[in-house]
Amino acid sequence: MGTTADFKNGLCIKYNNDLWKIESFQHVKPGKGPAFVRTKIRNLKTSRILENTFTAGVKIEIVRIENRNYQFLYKEGDDTFHFMNQKNYEQVALQKDIINAPAYLKEGSSVDIMFHAENETPLSCSLPANVNLEITFTEPGEKGNTATNALKPATTETGVEVKVPLFINQGDIVKIDTSSGNYIERVKQ
Query: How far apart, in Å, are the Cα atoms of 82 and each of 56, 71, 132, 175?
Result: 43, 9, 20, 24
Rounded to whole angstroms, how far apart are CA atoms 4 and 8? 9
| Residue 53 sits in the same domain as residue 38 | yes
DSSP code, position 31:
S
Query: Residue 11 is part of a domain; what is its CATH number?
Result: 2.30.30.30
Mean pLDDT over 158-181 rounds to: 90
| 149 pLDDT more than 90 | no
- Residue 147 confidence (pLDDT): 61
| Residue 113 sits in the same domain as residue 138 | no
| Residue 121 sits in the same domain as residue 155 | no
Single-letter amino acid code for the residue at 81: F
Nearest to 92 by CA among 64, 121, 116: 121
pLDDT above 70: percentage of residues in the chain: 96
Q: Based on DSSP, count helices (H) and strands (E) in the chain, helices before strands.
A: 0, 16
Mean pLDDT over 173-188 rounds to: 90
Q: In a 10 Å sphere around its CB, with 0-12 CB exposed, 13-18 middle and 19+ buried, how is residue 85 labelled?
A: middle
Question: CB-side exposure of 163: number of CA atoms within 13 Å?
Answer: 6
| 176 pLDDT more than 90 | yes
Question: Tens digit of pLDDT for each residue in 28-86?
Answer: 999 888 999 999 998 887 778 999 999 988 999 999 988 899 999 999 988 899 999 98
Query: How far apart, in Å, are the Cα atoms of 36 and each of 9, 16, 29?
Result: 17, 18, 7
| Residue 50 sits in the same domain as residue 76 | no
Q: Residue 133: which pLDDT band, with cuts at 50, 70 and 90? A: very high
| Residue 94 sits in the same domain as residue 147 | no
Cβ atoms within 10 Å of 129's Cβ, excluding its own: 10
Query: Residue 139 is part of a domain; what is its CATH number?
Result: 2.40.50.140
**Domain region containing 141:** 131-186
Rounded to whole angstroms, how far apart are CA atoms 136 and 154? 8
DSSP code, position 99:
B
Domains in the chain, number: 3
- Residue 142 confidence (pLDDT): 64
- Given a contact cutoff of 8 angstroms between Cβ atoms, the answer to whether 137 and 158 are in contact is no
| Residue 141 sits in the same domain as residue 178 | yes
| Residue 108 sits in the same domain as residue 90 | yes
| Residue 138 sits in the same domain as residue 107 | no
- Residue 74 confidence (pLDDT): 92
Single-letter amino acid code for the residue at 160: V
The residue from 85, 105, 126 where one domain ends is 126
